């Protein structure tokens, strides 16, 4: 409840697992800096990471990516920043690393095109949650891809 958002003493016991946050068809929504500047305020301070799921039509399967801010940055810093990227990535929410970033791009999140970890999974990049130029997320078959996102404790 409200106690958890403000960091009440019973918060850690109450919060576990993942909570639905972004759901439905957001492929036609411009998920840009203005959107994320507002939306990021909804992530509880106690959240540890975000779980993002996107169906990849090219690969014919759904991919799950986990993201968290790098040390010294907040979820808001991470979500609304185009460059530099302020996120760490994981495919299991256990082992974390900074992906090779697509510097100079217009998107938020994801990795450099043809980053080895993404290619090993049969795709060109890890999931992208926003852009200054396009609607929805990315990437296969391209932009305007809908996805879901949860915050996790």
Q: How much is the pLDDT for 2? A: 46
Q: What is the pTM of this model?
A: 0.86
pLDDT at position 141 is 64
Mean pLDDT, rounded, of the chain: 86
For the four alpha carbons of 117, 98, 41 and 132, in that order, the dihedral sign comes to negative
pLDDT at 102 over 90: no
Q: What is the pLDDT of residue 14?
A: 55
Q: What percent of the chain has pLDDT over 70?
A: 88
Q: Measure the CA–CA gap between 113 and 125, rounded to whole angstroms.
A: 5
Q: What share of the chain is helix, strand, coil (3-state, %, to 5)?
A: 20, 25, 55
pLDDT of residue 50: 98
d(CA 148, CA 125): 17
Helix (H, G, I), strand (E, B), or coil: what is residue 56?
strand
Q: Do residues 79 and 57 touch, judged by C-beta distance below 8 A?
A: no
Segment 121-145, tens digit of pLDDT: 888 889 999 999 988 888 766 788 8
> pLDDT grade, residue 3 (50/70/90)?
very low
Nearest alpha carbon to residue 80 among 41, 108, 43: 108
């Amino acid at each position: 409840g409200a106690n958890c958002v403000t960091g009440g003493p019973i918060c850690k016991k109450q919060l576990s697992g993942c909570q639905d946050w972004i759901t439905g068809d957001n492929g036609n929504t411009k998920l840009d800096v203005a959107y994320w500047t507002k939306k990021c305020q909804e992530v509880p301070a106690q959240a540890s990471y975000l779980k993002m799921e996107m169906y990849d039509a090219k690969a014919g399967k759904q991919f799950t990516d986990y993201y968290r801010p790098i040390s010294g940055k907040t979820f808001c810093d991470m979500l609304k920043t185009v460059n530099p990227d302020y996120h760490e990535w994981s495919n299991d929410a256990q082992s974390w690393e900074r992906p090779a970033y697509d510097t100079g791009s217009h998107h938020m999140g994801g990795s450099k095109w043809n980053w080895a970890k993404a290619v090993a999974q049969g795709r060109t990049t890890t999931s992208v949650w926003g852009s200054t130029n396009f609607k929805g997320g990315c990437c296969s078959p391209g932009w305007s891809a809908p996805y879901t996102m949860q915050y996790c404790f």
